[in-house]
Amino acid sequence: MVEKAVEETFAALFALTDLRQIFRDTKPTYQFNKEQKRQIKEIIEKVRQSLDVIEKELIK
């Protein structure tokens, strides 16, 4: 369903926006603490999952 793909498109964009905020909080040295490293991993995973759903819904 395209609706699911659209939802995941926003979900991925929002997750990447959270990553933008981590860049903002840690610039210009980007020395991430434990919690920030955990958040980054979570964001990457979230975006991957969203892309998987988008691919499944639209391409496969």
Partner 1 sequence: MKQMIEDIEVRAREELFININPIQAAGRLTPEAMKAIIAYGDGYSTCDWCGKPFRLDKIRRPPISEFHVELAKFVGMDQARVVPGARRGFQAVVSSLVEKGDSVIVSSLAHYTEFLAVEDVGGVVKEVPLNEENVITGENTAQKIEKVKRETGKLPKLIMMDHFDYMLGNEHDIHGVAKVAKDYDIPFLANCAYSMGVMPINGREMDADFLVGSGHKSFASPAPSGIVATTDEWADKVFRTTQTVGDVTGRKFGIKEVEMMGCTLMGANLIAMMASFPRVRERVKHWDDEVKKINYFIDEFNKIEGNKVLSEMPRKHTLTKVDTTGSFDKIAQTHKRRGFFFSDELKKRRIVGEFTGATRQWKLNTYGLTWDQIKYLTRALHDIAKKYGINVA
Helix or strand or coil: residue 9? helix
Closest to partner 1 by CB, 31 vs 60, is 31
| Tokens encoding 56 | 């499944």
Alpha carbon 17 to its chain's center: 8
Per the CB < 8 A criterion, the answer to whether 47 and 10 are in contact is no
Closest CB 60 distance from partner 1, rounded Å: 26
Site string for partner 1, 17-36 (x = CB under 8 A): xx-xx-xxx-xxx-x-----
Chain positions contacting partner 1, by CB under 8 A? 10, 13-14, 17-18, 20-21, 23-25, 27-29, 31
